[in-house]
């Protein structure tokens, strides 16, 4: 299934909300919804571009789900029936730029939704595994940086689908980046990233500085 729209949920793990609070980002207990264009996708094996002169690119390891559709106002109890597949991905973020935009009360797009801002593994079929009992890790150059346990989500996947469907008629190929746990940090040229999860798979990328 071709990826259609990319929805992203922010502030969905309490430990990550706490670490961002040090940067002055507000912790109000509510998740954030934003989008990336399909052109943001970096498939496995393609280099993750590090833009020049825009500050650091932070990785955010996330469980990603693929939807069969669902339309508008999906009831909470039916929400998981909309899930077709799952994988892991990286919500890549120009962190200093994002902080600056947030502090000015401006939209985030240029910090969160630029081309190359969504590393995305291949989808595996969703076979009704419990999406709130998954674990995933991100290693950078072999070093463990993030360890997510989806039971720690403030907004479980079903609730995310329910919430998104109140604003969008969900379509086949829509995907959701479901938020990141603590441990986010900056990337450097040449960094090798491996995202892995039991029953989800293992996916790798390498970072490359963008040309001048
Ligand atoms: Zn994120």
Q: Where are the beta strands (DSSP E) in 61-142?
A: 61-67, 83-91, 93-94, 118-120, 124-125, 135-140
- Over residues 190-211, mean pLDDT: 96
Task: Say whether domain 6-199 belongs to CATH 3.40.50.1860.
Answer: no
- Over residues 73-87, mean pLDDT: 97
State residue 58's pLDDT score: 97
Strand order in the sheet with 201-209: 48-50, 201-209, 192-197, 135-140, 143-149
Which helix (H) or strand (E) segment holds residue 112: the answer is helix 109-112
Determine whether 63 is exposed, middle or buried from the number of CB atoms within 10 Å of its CB (0-12, 13-18, 19+): buried
* C-alpha of residue 70 to centroid of ligand 1, in Å: 23
| pTM of the entire predicted model | 0.95
* C-alpha of residue 17 to centroid of ligand 1, in Å: 11
- What is the rounded CA–CA span in Å between residue 101 and residue 130? 37
For 96, 112, 209, the CA distances from 85, given in Å and listed in that order, are 33, 24, 31
Contact 113, 40 (CB under 8 A): yes
* C-alpha of residue 90 to centroid of ligand 1, in Å: 8
Q: Does residue 18 carry a pLDDT above 90?
A: no
């Amino acid at each position: 299934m071709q990826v259609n729209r990319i929805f992203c949920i922010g502030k969905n793990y309490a430990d990550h909300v706490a670490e961002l609070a040090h940067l002055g980002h507000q912790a109000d207990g509510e998740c954030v919804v934003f989008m990336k264009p399909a052109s943001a996708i970096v498939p496995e094996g393609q280099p993750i571009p590090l833009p020049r002169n825009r500050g650091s690119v932070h990785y955010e390891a996330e469980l990603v789900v693929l939807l069969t559709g669902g339309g508008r106002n999906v009831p909470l109890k039916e929400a998981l029936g909309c899930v077709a597949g799952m994988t892991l991905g990286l919500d890549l973020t120009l962190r200093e730029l994002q902080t600056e935009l947030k502090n000015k009360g401006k939209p985030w797009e240029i910090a969160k939704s630029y081309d190359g801002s969504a590393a995305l593994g291949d989808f595996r079929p969703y076979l009704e595994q419990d999406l709130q009992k998954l674990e995933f890790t991100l290693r950078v150059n072999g070093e463990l940086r993030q360890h997510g346990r989806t039971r720690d989500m403030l907004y479980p996947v079903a609730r995310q689908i329910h919430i998104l469907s109140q604003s969008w008629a969900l379509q086949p190929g829509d995907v959701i980046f479901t938020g990141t746990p603590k441990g986010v940090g900056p990337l450097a040229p040449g960094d090798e990233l491996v995202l892995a999860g039991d029953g989800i798979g293992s996916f790798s990328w390498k970072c490359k500085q963008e040309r001048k």
